Amino acid sequence: MIHIRSCRGLEELEACVQLQVDVWGYADGDVIPRRVFLVAQKIGGQVLGAFDTAKAGAARQGDAASMVGFALALPGVKTSSGQPVSYLHSHMLAVREGYRDTGIGRRLKLAQREDALERGIARMEWTFDPLEIKNAHLNLHRLGAIVRRYEPNFYGSSSSRLQGGLPTDRLVAEWWMDAPRVHSRLRPQTAEMPNEAVQGEAEQGATVEVEVPAAISQWKADAGTRDQAAAVQTRNREQLQQAFAQGLAIVDYRLDADGSGRFVLAPWSEP
């Protein structure tokens, strides 16, 4: 059974650091150290862990040994109508290989949302790589985040093995956690009762779609095909920036049967 809760004690924070290294393969200079996890907890951020309660040896070694996922968020402040407004910037979400695609990533996001709303924080942001089809599906389609900003080479060069040496272009996800569209996305869907938010946007008529080919992760991972991945990145950067300049937002993500993905852009006025 997977149990999700706030991390406690230095050992669990150390387990987050180790999981981060295992997942991203960062060089030392890119690793977020335990101290930052600790500070995040102290200043109103979030360090949530997913623990496998059945993991062999965990009972003997303590909870840190059973950590299979974590989410780290830092508190932020924006100005809205001249007033400071608190929000959370979710900097990392990780699930250990072998535990993925069973809903743990989504559950960590939902736990972040629950904690934030209890504290009166309605907005969460995070960045994600527009070439990562799975992340885009989770963020945009399953969670109901929207995107209005494209940040080219946001972090500069990165030692992350997931980056494949490409510029660290990022989309900024905005998760308006109490908005009707998010409530609607989080409601269980059935074939008879399709998701209202998706239906509503389809009725308005989506105006632009931007495609990410299914082979993108292979192209990124293989030095011989990295140019193809770079070409998609450049093309999509131009198309998305152009659409954002026209006032459109990414409101959904569609998966095609061949494994490719499509950003769906439409006018967005909430909240």
Ligand X SMILES: CC(C)(COP(=O)(O)OP(=O)(O)OC[C@H]1O[C@@H](n2cnc3c(N)ncnc32)[C@H](O)[C@@H]1OP(=O)(O)O)[C@@H](O)C(=O)NCCC(=O)NCCS
Contact call for residue 94 and ligand X (CB under 6 A)? yes
Residue 135 engages ligand X in binding (rule: CB under 6 A): yes
Does 101 bind ligand X (CB under 6 A)? Our answer is yes
Q: Classify residue 118 by burial, with Cβ atoms within 10 Å: 0-12, 13-18, 19+.
A: exposed
| Stretch touching ligand X by CB under 6 A, among 93-101, 144-152, 199-207, 241-249 | 93-101
Contacting residues for 59 by C-beta, under 8 A, at least 6 apart = none
Nearer to ligand X, 172 or 242 (CB): 172
C-beta closer to ligand X: residue 138 or 147: 138
Strand-pairing partners, residue 254, are 262
Helix (H) or strand (E) run with residue 9 in it:
helix 9-24
CB of 203 to ligand X, least distance (A): 22
Strands (E), 104-260: 123-128, 146-151, 170-176, 208-212, 248-255
Which residues within the stretch 38-77 sit at the binding site for ligand X (CB under 6 A)? none
Element housing 110 (H / E): helix 104-118
264 contacts ligand X (rule: CB under 6 A): no
Kindly state whether residue 134 participates in binding ligand X, applying the rule CB under 6 A.
yes
Q: Does 100 bind ligand X (CB under 6 A)?
A: yes
- 106 contacts ligand X (rule: CB under 6 A): yes
Q: Give the number of other Cβ atoms within 10 Å of residue 172's Cβ.
A: 17
Which is closer to ligand X, CB of 84 or CB of 188? 188
Q: Does 139 bind ligand X (CB under 6 A)?
A: no
By CB under 6 A, residue 133 contacts ligand X = yes
Beta strand 83-95 with 67-80 is: antiparallel
Nearer to ligand X, 22 or 270 (CB): 22
Give the residue at shortest CB distance from ligand X: 105
Give the H/E segment covering residue 36: helix 34-42
Would you count residue 254 as binding ligand X (CB under 6 A)? no
CA distance 157 to 153: 7
Residues 6 or more apart in contact with residue 24 via CB below 8 angstroms: 30, 94, 160, 161, 162
CA 140/CA 106 separation, integer angstroms? 12
Please tell me whether residue 237 binds ligand X under the rule CB under 6 A: no
Q: Judged by CB under 6 A, how many residues of this single chain contact ligand X?
A: 21
Selected binder of ligand X within 137, 148, 226, 254 (CB under 6 A) = 137
Asked if 172 touches ligand X (CB under 6 A), the answer is: no
User: Which residues sit at the interface with ligand X, rule CB under 6 A?
Assistant: 23, 92-95, 100-106, 128, 133-135, 137-138, 142, 162, 255
